[in-house]
Structure 1
Amino acid sequence: MTSDPLILVVDDLAPNVRLLEAVLSPRGFRVATASSGEEALDVLSKEYPDVVLLDILMPGMDGYEVCRRIREDPGTAFLPVIMITASGEQEKIRAIESGADDFVNKPFDQAELLARVRSLVRVKRYHDTIQQQAGELARWNRELEQRVQDQIEQLDRVSRLRRFLPAQLADLIISSGD
């Protein structure tokens, strides 16, 4: 990994945010925080985290809506989201249906949370690498298409020259670059 992974922690309760920071920071994660769904979306417009840890039950915009909006935005559609809540099994199903990649119950087991975060950071880094390679491949394809087009134009010029000049003279003019 090139830099420490950035984790966006979204929870309306400051003690929960501090707890997650205390778990993540000493283990090599940078932490950005938001205390509401609206603030989380604002942070996502400026920062590029590797994973979002998202509380479900928040005043205003709940975690489900935040997750749906993350999935709707092409820039964050593949951003891994782990939803965290003290609620039961029904909440887990709704979390997955809203687009969450994983789910952790409160109170959470630190080792389990860290394992899930590391796993999704790894997946995100793979995705980022694939996106970068796809961009490079597209650039190379454009360059190759341009080279082919240039060669076709060159062949066309040679063909026209050979219609009006002897082959040896046409070859001499072409090889001189004129």
Structure 2
Amino acid sequence: MSGDTQGRILLVAKETTLRGLLERLLVARGFSVVDGGTGADTVSLLGSDGPIDLVICERTGPGLDEVALFEEIRRHPDHGRVPILALPPADPECTARALEAGVSDCLAKPFHPTEFLARVERLARPATA
């Protein structure tokens, strides 16, 4: 793979170890990663410093649950169409709630890095590609 950046990903994860692992996988694959922290500032980060090609959300921190975050992103006038990959626990109800809130795809934990990267690459292709 060339040194070109494939796209910018906003990564939201409550668990710092998982966030670090996902970031390393994404950077190794050529993506630029914006740290969305635990979700509180995610929507404000969507438009800052250039477009975001994909939002990946594992879990948010206190004060904002994942479904509220997904709904807030979808209501945003400029960024409501950005793809969202949710990483819910292996619970059909969590997956259903995320899909109902408008996410583009769900990948239940635990997951294999190969499947994670395949879904990311499918969702994060820049619109100009």
> TM-score per shorter chain, which class?
0.7 to 0.9
Q: 1:3 to 1:29 in 2, by over 3 A?
A: closer
1:46 Cα deviation from its structure 2 partner? 0.8
Structure 2 CA distance for aligned equivalents of residues 86 and 43 of structure 1:
25
Retained in 2: the 8 A contact 1:36–1:60?
no
Q: Does 1:60 align with 2:63?
A: yes
In structure 2, what residue type is equivalent to 1:17?
A: R
Equivalent residue, structure 2, for 1:167: none
1:157 aligned residue? none
In 2, the alpha carbon distance for the partners of 1:14 and 1:56 equals: 11
Equivalent position SS for 1:118? helix
CA RMSD of aligned residues (A): 1.8
Give the structure 2 partner of residue 108 of structure 1. Answer: 111
Q: Which has the larger radius of gyration?
A: 1
In the TM superposition, 1:67-86 aligns within 5 A as: 67-86=70-89
Identity of aligned residues (%): 30
- Tell me the CA shift for residue 125 of structure 1: 1.4
Gaps of 5+ in 1: 130-178
Instruction: List structure 1 runs of 4+ shifted beyond 6 angstroms.
Output: none
Kept after mapping to 1: 8 A contact 2:90/2:110: no
Aligned length: 125
Change (3 A) 1:41 1:70: same
Contact 2:55 2:83 (8 Å CA) reproduced? yes
Measure how far apart 1:93 and its partner are: 0.5
The residue identity in structure 2 corresponding to 1:75 is D
Describe the superposition over 1:16-69 as per-residue Cα deviations: whole angstroms up to 9, x where unpaired: 110101111111111111222222122113142111101245321011111101
In the alignment, is residue 41 of structure 1 matched against residue 46 of structure 2?
no
Residues of 1 paired with 2:94 and 2:110: CA distance? 15
Task: Name structure 2 gaps, 5 residues minimum.
Answer: none
Counterparts of 1:105 and 1:3, CA distance in 2:
27
Q: Which has the higher contact order (CA 8 A, sep 6+)?
A: 2
Give the deviation of 1:3 after TM superposition: 4.3
Q: In the alignment, which of 95, 99, 102 is matched to residue 96 of structure 1?
A: 99
